[in-house]
Amino acid sequence: MKKRLLASLIAIAATPLCAKELNIVYTNDIHAKVDPFVARYIDEERPVGGFANVASYIKQQKAAQPDNTIVLDAGDYFSGSTVDTLTEGEAIIDIMNSMGYDVASIGNHEFDYGWDNALVQLSKANFEVLLGNVFFEGTDKPFWDKPYTIVERDGLKLGIIGLHGKFAFYDTVAANMRQNLEARDEIEYLQKYLDELRPQVDITILLAHQGTPARQSSLGNNDVRRALDKDIQTAKQVTGLDILVTGHAHVGTPEVIEVNDTLIVSTDAYGINVGKLTVDFDEKAGKIKDYDFELKTIWADEWNADKETQARIENWKSVVDKIVREKLISSENTLTRSYGESSTLGNLVADSMMPNFPDGELAFTNSGGIRADIEAGDITYGDVIDALPFPNYPVAIDLTGKQIRSLMEHAAGLTNGVMQVSSGVHMAYDSSLPVASVCWNCRLTANQWLTIVFIEWSPTTSLPTVVTVLPPSHKVRTAKNARASLYLWASKLT
């Protein structure tokens, strides 16, 4: 359905022949999900995604309107499959080179194998790669030497910028993987690049990777707005930005978010869907006047896999085949993951850390670090890598009972889910319960309250003074800084 920017109602009616059309096809957070898969929160049986199917959609769009279509990605194409993990991203860049991408920005997971590896692999891309606010520490030398590019489509000049949120960079890139790098204020650099580009281009586009990860699927515009609050604030703080394609939240916009004169869009993760934003640019007014929008679910049974992309996928699978086929064990049941509640796979991962730490009493792992279900039947090394693609290892720290309680309050209040815990602890909360009915009366938000039950200790007695906790080192690599990886906010620990 065609949408018209409110401020342009009269102007567009007066100048219909001055408009040029631009088709922007976009993805974000595709996370190396080269094969179709079942996303149970969308459909229990019907597979979605797959790079070869996404490529078919992209090439269909380009074939229909070759002169005015551009294909963009907002980062996090690494991490999420065996061919990625075992080749440290090399396979993914090679596969993406066949898919029809024109421009991409860099996300946090492109650093998962170290910044030096990122430089090597990204230099092999046949599409333009952008990043404008990460520098070598204490210098003005950029990590990546291309902050923006100017691309022309059907006579329209597009200024495209790539940036990474400063908070998201430090929050999600492991310290040893970004050693000697620093992220700088994205708003300052965005305005700088917009000021440089505006005199040269018709339309400005930001590819951003920022904010806080949220839910795995679009559950309504209010949920999306919470997930994309950082992007909304970005649009409010700068001038001259027309379009913002954002990644990191793993949540698609069911409709375009309009902030002043900026259009904000995003897709869900893993190639579940692909976005298409078609804008009408009024050359006389120098502005976008109308737009069409579609968030297209890529159902695997509706597409013929692109032959070139599928051939590259199969080639890389053959390279790692011997390793990934190794059988480890069998399971009678499917081990599922969940961002929003306890899960069989999450509990198993937390429990699996305990035997190697005899003094450990509890273990936590973040739901977002588990990226795939493990189906019933024989479980292979490849299945485990798909489910746990990140190079994490446990670290041990001491926490007081008060700190554990604070951690679990915070985890239960996150829109993107709870921390998965070992068998040493159980947490339950019910947002519908009145305050007086809930043990401890621990307030989460205006209408959420928390009940915590420690299996080894009665919830009616005082909490243990010190407990050794084992968190995975997704963000930190030493026990010295392990509190950060548990999202323990200092304000809640006093």
3-state secondary structure the chain: CCEECHHHHHHHHHCHHHEEEEEEEEECCCCCCCCCECCCCCCCCCCECCHHHHHHHHHHHHHHCCCCEEEEECCCCCCCCHHHHCCCCHHHHHHHCCCCCCEEECCHHHHCCCHHHHHHHHCCCCCEEECCCEEECCCCCECCCCCEEEEEECCEEEEEEEEECHHHHHHHCCHHHCCCEEECCHHHHHHHHHHHHCCCCCEEEEEEECCCCCCCCCCCHHHHHHHCHHHHHHHHHCCCCCEEEEECCCCCCCCCEEECCEEEECCCCCCCEEEEEEEEEECCCCEEEEEEEEEEECEHHHCCCCHHHHHHHHHHHHHHHHHHCCEEEEECCCECCCCCCCCHHHHHHHHHHHHHCCCCCEEEEEHHHCCCCECCEEEEHHHHHHHCCCCCCECCEEECHHHHHHHHHHHHHCCCCCEEECCCCEEEECCCCCHHHCHHHEEEECCEEEEEECCCCCCCCCCCCCEEEECECCCCCCHHHHHHHCCCCHHHCC
In angstroms, how far is the first alpha carbon of the chain from the final one? 52
- What pLDDT, on the 0 to 100 scale, is given for residue 396? 81
**Residue 131 · residue 105 · CB < 8 Å:** yes
**Residue 93 · residue 125 · CB < 8 Å:** yes
**Residue 204 · residue 182 · CB < 8 Å:** no
Question: Of 6-20, 125-139, 317-331, 341-355, where does mean pLDDT reach its minimum?
Answer: 6-20
Q: pTM of the prediction?
A: 0.77
Question: Of 43-52, 141-150, 468-477, where does mean pLDDT reach its minimum?
Answer: 468-477
Q: Would you say residue 51 has pLDDT above 50?
A: yes
> What's at 144, amino acid-wise?
W
Higher pLDDT, 423 or 415: 423
User: For the residues 6-31, what does the mean pLDDT come to?
Assistant: 71
> What's at 102, amino acid-wise?
D
**Residue 42 · residue 330 · CB < 8 Å:** no
- What pLDDT, on the 0 to 100 scale, is given for residue 425? 65
pLDDT band at 359, cuts 50/70/90?
A: confident
Q: Would you say residue 14 has pLDDT above 50?
A: no
Question: Of 9-23, 150-164, 477-491, where does mean pLDDT reach its minimum?
Answer: 477-491
User: For the residues 390-407, what does the mean pLDDT come to?
Assistant: 75
Q: Order of strands across the sheet with 362-366?
A: 397-399, 467-470, 362-366, 419-421
Q: Which residue has the tokens 């100048």?
A: 15
pLDDT band at 449, cuts 50/70/90?
A: very low
Which residue spans of the chain are classified as CATH 3.90.780.10? 327-492
Question: Of 13-27, 33-47, 91-105, 195-209, where does mean pLDDT reach its minimum?
Answer: 13-27
> What is the Cα–Cα distance from 30 to 78, expressed in whole angstroms?
8
**Residue 263 · residue 244 · CB < 8 Å:** yes
pLDDT band at 282, cuts 50/70/90?
A: very high
pLDDT band at 94, cuts 50/70/90?
A: very high
Which residue spans of the chain are classified as CATH 3.60.21.10? 3-315
CATH for the 327-492 domain, from 3.30.420.40, 3.30.43.10, 3.10.20.340, 3.90.780.10: 3.90.780.10
> What is the Cα–Cα distance from 242 to 221, expressed in whole angstroms?
21
Give the closest residue to 96 by CA, choosing from 309, 414, 282. 309
**Residue 106 · residue 129 · CB < 8 Å:** yes
pLDDT band at 340, cuts 50/70/90?
A: low
Q: Is 1 exposed, middle or buried (0-12, 13-18, 19+ CB in 10 A)?
A: exposed
pLDDT above 90 covers what percent of the chain? 57
User: For the residues 377-405, what does the mean pLDDT come to?
Assistant: 82
**Residue 184 · residue 140 · CB < 8 Å:** no
Q: Would you say residue 6 has pLDDT above 90?
A: no
- What pLDDT, on the 0 to 100 scale, is given for residue 273? 98
- What pLDDT, on the 0 to 100 scale, is given for residue 369? 80
- What pLDDT, on the 0 to 100 scale, is given for residue 95? 99
CATH for the 3-315 domain, from 3.40.50.2300, 3.60.21.10, 3.40.50.1400, 3.40.30.10: 3.60.21.10
> What is the Cα–Cα distance from 66 to 59, expressed in whole angstroms?
9
Q: How far is CA 269 from CA 74, 91, 253, 254, 291, in A?
A: 11, 19, 12, 14, 24
**Residue 98 · residue 59 · CB < 8 Å:** no
- What pLDDT, on the 0 to 100 scale, is given for residue 281? 98
